[in-house]
Structure 1
Amino acid sequence: MTTVLDILDKGTAYLEKRGIEDARRNMQMLVAHQLDCTRMELYVRFDHPIDDCHLEPLRTALKKRGEGIPIQHLLGTVFFRNHEFKTDARGLIPRPETEELAEWLTKNVTLPASARILDMGCGSGVLGLSLAADFPEADVTLVDVSPEALALARENAELTGITVTMVQSDLFSDLPEAPPFDLIVANLPYVPDAEELAPEVRHDPALALFGGADGMDLIRRFIPEAAKRLTPGGWLALEIGHDQSTETEKLLRAASLTDVLTLKDLSGIPRFPIARKA
Structure 2
Amino acid sequence: MSHTIASAIDWAVKQLAASDSAKLDAELLLAYLLDKNRTWLKTWPDHILSQSSFAQFQALIKRRVDGEPVAYILGQQDFWTFTLKVSAATLIPRPETEHVIEYALEQLPVDGAVKVVDLGTGTGAIAMAIASERPGARVWAVDFSEQALAVAEHNRKKYQLNNMVCQQGHWLDDWSHGELDMIVSNPPYIADNDPHLHDLSYEPQSALVAEDHGLSDIRYITEQAVIYLKPGGWLVFEHGFEQGKPVRQILEQSGFQLVATIKDYAGLARVTVGRKAEL
1:32 partner SS: helix
Which whole-Å deviations, capped at 9, do the CAs of 1:101-148 have from their partners, x for residues lacking one?
Answer: 213322454366211010011111111111111111111111111111
CA distance in 2, matches of 1:109, 1:175: 21
Decide whether the 8 Å contact of 2:111 with 2:134 is kept in 1.
no
Trace 1:1-278 onto structure 2 (pairs within 5 A): 1-16=2-17, 19-110=18-109, 113-163=112-162, 164-176=164-176, 178-197=177-196, 199-278=198-277
CA distance in 1, matches of 2:190, 2:167: 24
Instruction: Spell out structure 1 runs of 4+ moving beyond 6 A.
Output: none
2:154 partner SS: helix
2:36 partner SS: coil
Decide whether the 8 Å contact of 2:142 with 2:167 is kept in 1.
yes
Deviation at 1:179, TM superposition (A): 1.4
1:214 partner SS: helix
CA distance in 1, matches of 2:186, 2:65: 29
**Counterpart residue identity of residue 238, structure 2:** E
Decide whether the 8 Å contact of 2:187 with 2:207 is kept in 1.
yes
Decide whether the 8 Å contact of 2:111 with 2:136 is kept in 1.
no
CA RMSD of aligned residues (A): 1.5
Distance 1:9 1:198, change over 3 A: farther
Deviation at 1:154, TM superposition (A): 1.1
CA distance in 1, matches of 2:208, 2:227: 25
Deviation at 1:162, TM superposition (A): 1.5
2:141 partner SS: strand
TM-score under structure 1 length normalisation? 0.94
Number of paired residues? 275
Which segments of 5 or more consecutive residues in structure 2 lack a partner in the other structure? none
CA distance in 2, matches of 1:181, 1:208: 24
**Counterpart residue identity of residue 260, structure 1:** V
**Counterpart residue identity of residue 59, structure 2:** T
**Counterpart residue identity of residue 270, structure 2:** R
Deviation at 1:199, TM superposition (A): 4.5
**Counterpart residue identity of residue 158, structure 1:** K
CA distance in 2, matches of 1:7, 1:199: 30
1:197 partner SS: helix
Deviation at 1:197, TM superposition (A): 2.6
**Counterpart residue identity of residue 59, structure 1:** Q
Moved more, 151-160 or 187-196: 151-160
CA distance in 2, matches of 1:95, 1:111: 25
Deviation at 1:241, TM superposition (A): 1.0
Moved more, 68-77 or 167-176: 167-176
2:214 partner SS: coil
**Counterpart residue identity of residue 275, structure 1:** G
Decide whether the 8 Å contact of 2:111 with 2:135 is kept in 1.
no
CA distance in 2, matches of 1:107, 1:75: 33
Which whole-Å deviations, capped at 9, do the CAs of 1:62-102 have from their partners, x for residues lacking one?
Answer: 11001000000011111110011001101111111112321
Moved more, 4-13 or 204-213: 204-213
1:204 partner SS: coil
Decide whether the 8 Å contact of 2:105 with 2:130 is kept in 1.
yes
1:124 partner SS: coil
**Counterpart residue identity of residue 175, structure 1:** W
Deviation at 1:161, TM superposition (A): 1.6
